[in-house]
Amino acid sequence: MAVEGCQCPTCWPSWELTAGLFSIVIFGCIANEGYINRPSEVEEYCIFNRNQNACNYGVFMGSMAFLCCVAFLALDVYFPQISSVKDRKKAVLADIGISAFWSFMWFVGFCFLANQWQVTKQEDNPLREGGDAARAAITFSFFSIFTWAGQSFLAFQRYKLGADSALFSHEYTDPSQDAAGAPYTSFGGDDLESPGGGGGQANSDGAFDGSGGYQRQDY
């Protein structure tokens, strides 16, 4: 929450879109051009020092990070409908923890891929195939570290600001329900008049006035 009154857990969906885009790039680079073979071989190996774990790590992390971004975007849409204070706090705390987790995992992935690329032997790839894709995967892994770290920092700021605003208040209501929660106003005002005007009230007071006694009506 960047400004007071923000009611969604993620007021900058562009951060999630950026993180999702980076994840797609990493996944696509490794899945499409991350496996090569020597001219004398048929079986393909991972371009990162022929280490299958390196490619598997990049593909798995890229796909899971993208699904996580989609889940956070869905939470943005659903968050204004959450009426429970505890559930709203859990949603923001989950944003902080998961974003920090992905930042750490991309740091590990960047170090792992960069190390394996550095020790890759030239004879394993004499035609220099997939080099640009490998460097792109490493580069966007590095960018993903700061993207997820920034997302975690912004979520922490939202948590601190939300403690002093309507975000975590019991008086928080869905804006779409404001009209339904308006106080009911009786039709015609508080004073109701009899069909005969003010005389009905006067006659009633006169008929039951103790000072006048019982009045018998003649037929």
Average pLDDT (192-196) is 45
Percent of the chain with pLDDT over 90: 35
Mean pLDDT of the 141-150 span: 94
Q: Residue 214 corresponds to which tokens in the numbers above?
A: 């019982």
pLDDT at 43: 84
Higher pLDDT, 200 or 92: 92
Is residue 77, in this structure, part of any structural domain at all?
Answer: yes
CB atoms < 10 A from the CB of 154, how many? Answer: 19
Which residues, in sequence order, are bridge partners of residue 194? 197
Does the residue 214 lie in any domain? no
pLDDT at 163 (0 to 100):
55
- Domain range for 88 is 14-170
Least confident range from 106-110, 152-156, 171-175: namely 171-175
Which of 54-63, 125-134, 145-154, 176-185 is predicted with the least confidence, judged by mean pLDDT? 176-185
Is a pLDDT exceeding 80 seen at residue 174? no
pLDDT at 185: 44
Q: Output the CA–CA distances (angstroms, integers) from residue 186 to 178, 189, 190, 200, in the order listed.
A: 19, 6, 7, 22
Q: Please give the pLDDT value at position 136.
A: 94
Any domain includes 141: yes
Q: Has residue 71 got a pLDDT over 70?
A: yes
The pLDDT of residue 38:
79
The reply to whether 203 falls in a domain is no
Identify whether 5 is part of a domain.
no
* DSSP one-letter code for 197: B
Q: Ranked by mean pLDDT, which of 41-50, 78-87, 190-199 comes out on top?
A: 41-50
Average pLDDT over residues 153-176: 63
pLDDT of 56 above 50? yes
Mean pLDDT of the chain, nearest integer: 75
Neighbours of 201 (CB within 10 A): 12
- Segment 190-215 shows an average pLDDT of 46
Asked if residue 9 has pLDDT above 70, the reply is: no
Whether 110 and 61 have beta carbons less than 8 Å apart is answered as no
* DSSP letters for 137-179: HHHHHHHHHHHHHHHHHHHHHHHHHHTTSGGG-TT---GGGTT
pLDDT at residue 42, rounded to an integer: 80
Largest CA distance in the chain: 128
| Residue the block writes with tokens 């069909």 | 195
In a domain, 35, yes or no: yes
Structural domain includes residue 212: no
Residue 76 lies in a domain: yes
Q: How many domains does the chain contain in total?
A: 1
pLDDT reading at 82 higher than 80: no
